[in-house]
Amino acid sequence: MSGRVALLSFDDVPPIGGQGRYVGFLEREMPEEGFGMEVLSARRGPWGPGPRIPRRTRREPLDFSLWLRHHVAQAAAAVRPDLWHALGGPGGVLLFRHPPGAPLVYTANHTYRTAHGRRLATRPLGTIEARGYRFAEHVIAVSPSTAHSLVADYDLPAEQVSVIPVGIDTDRFHPGPEEAEGSLLFVGRLVPIKGLPTFLDLFRTLGSEFPGLRAEVCGDGPLLGAAEAEAAASGNRLAVRGRVSDEELAAAYRRARLLVVPSRFEGLGLVALEAMASGVPVVASDVPGLTDLGGEGTVLVPPGDAGALAEAVRGLLADPGRRRELGQRGRAHVLREYSWAAVRPRVAEVYRSVLGSSASQAS
């Protein structure tokens, strides 16, 4: 069974973060399984490129979600999908009703509950998010911790949830010919919760111990100016790349000695997996999503413990043999569990199951 899938996402290609990368890969990979993909995002759709979305809140994905509730019928009439696939989680689409005309698969990249706990400021968003997942015929969780939150926090039936990670392009993200000489690398949205200030503090701390050490920051967000100011003060030892293409990102991984992920939460840890695919060891916070990666190619430290983070990075910088071992183990793990060759048939199986159930009910 095949069909046309309308992919609802705030992020798109070129990506702001991991959800945009997921969009690009689904758009490229799922036709191999017989599914045509139509991307409907804040940047493209039947409403034309770059629609004017009113700024009602301080959260652009929420603004898009509010705007989308009045335009999704227009999209349904234009695209006539057989299946809707929405990308949810903080930074994703919140659905206020079931999209018309076709069954819904929802991907939970993580949940507001795992990202923010039970904080009062985000509690209404978690309530809306939970209701949106309940609209779906099936929910794909990108990690076991996300699946646990869906069932334990949002009361979804366990049989309605499948754990399918985001796939990694292991052809694009691959090791270089030899280990790089230089940089510590940070990749992600430049926001406090992703740990950029922690990374910059780490580089200052270790820069005096390793005089040749350099660092790179790839990403965009509110802290871009702060990162650029730090780069100007570093004597050109810190390079801030901003938003980069897939090719530029792959080259940055191949230049890196280590990827540092000091995030306070992750749904899966896509950048960690890309680094592992590139043969680059990862030092990361021991938080849901990163813990789920299984420890292959990674060193995990308690979240918020700057001393433990510095000690782990310091130890790997001083031990090239251990870096190579971790890099090789990480690459093998990604090839086995996270390549698109492994992931794509599992997504297609969910699509076919939902379409088959919908057809049975219709008859």
- Torsion sign across C-alpha atoms 16, 349, 146, 45: positive
Determine, yes or no, domain membership for 260: yes
Residue 86 shares a structural domain with residue 134:
yes
- For residue 360, is pLDDT > 80? no
Residue 227: its H or E element: helix 224-233
Determine, yes or no, domain membership for 25: yes
Residue 221 shares a structural domain with residue 327:
yes
Residue 24 shares a structural domain with residue 154:
yes
Determine, yes or no, domain membership for 174: no
Q: Tell me, what's the pLDDT at 58?
A: 83
Distance, in Å, from the CA atom of 258 to the CA atom of 182, rounded to the nearest integer, reads: 9
Residue 88 shares a structural domain with residue 204:
no
What percent of the chain has a predicted confidence (pLDDT) above 90? 71
Per the CB < 8 A criterion, the answer to whether 324 and 257 are in contact is no
Residue 79 shares a structural domain with residue 212:
no
Helix ranges, 102-143 (H)? 112-116, 123-135
Q: What is the CATH number of the domain that holds 79?
A: 3.40.50.2000
Residue 354 shares a structural domain with residue 333:
no
Determine, yes or no, domain membership for 73: yes
Span 200-211, mean pLDDT?
90
Determine, yes or no, domain membership for 195: yes
Work out the burial of residue 45: count CB atoms within 10 Å of its CB; fewer than 13 is exposed, 13-18 middle, 19 or more buried: buried
| Chain-centroid distance, C-alpha 260 | 16
- For residue 179, is pLDDT > 60? no
DSSP state of 291: G
What percent of the chain has a predicted confidence (pLDDT) above 70? 95
- For residue 311, is pLDDT > 80? yes
* DSSP β-ladder status, 3-8 and 35-40: parallel
Domain that includes residue 150, residue range? 3-167+339-362
Query: Count H helices, E strands: the chain?
Result: 13, 12
> In sequence order, what DSSP letters do the residues of 316-355 get, joined into one string?
HHT-HHHHHHHHHHHHHHHHHHTBHHHHHHHHHHHHHHHH
- For residue 135, is pLDDT > 90? yes
Residue 96 shares a structural domain with residue 130:
yes
Residue 138: its H or E element: strand 138-141
Work out the burial of residue 160: count CB atoms within 10 Å of its CB; fewer than 13 is exposed, 13-18 middle, 19 or more buried: middle
Distance, in Å, from the CA atom of 109 to the CA atom of 150, rounded to the nearest integer, reads: 11
Per the CB < 8 A criterion, the answer to whether 210 and 317 are in contact is yes
Q: Tell me, what's the pLDDT at 38?
A: 96
Residue 293 shares a structural domain with residue 246:
yes
Per the CB < 8 A criterion, the answer to whether 35 and 1 are in contact is no
* DSSP β-ladder status, 3-8 and 138-141: unpaired
- Nearest CA among 187, 135, 169 for reference residue 27: 169
Residue 117 shares a structural domain with residue 256:
no
Per the CB < 8 A criterion, the answer to whether 46 and 75 are in contact is yes
pTM, two decimals, is 0.81
* DSSP β-ladder status, 298-301 and 83-88: unpaired
- Nearest CA among 253, 263, 217 for reference residue 327: 253
Per the CB < 8 A criterion, the answer to whether 277 and 259 are in contact is no
Distance, in Å, from the CA atom of 173 to the CA atom of 156, rounded to the nearest integer, reads: 35
Determine, yes or no, domain membership for 287: yes
Q: Using pLDDT thresholds of 50, 70 and 90, give the confidence band for residue 269.
A: confident
What is the Rg, in whole angstroms, of the alpha carbon atoms belonging to the chain?
20
Residue 265: its H or E element: none
Determine, yes or no, domain membership for 273: yes
Q: Using pLDDT thresholds of 50, 70 and 90, give the confidence band for residue 92.
A: very high
Determine, yes or no, domain membership for 58: yes
Per the CB < 8 A criterion, the answer to whether 12 and 25 are in contact is no
Residue 224 shares a structural domain with residue 345:
no
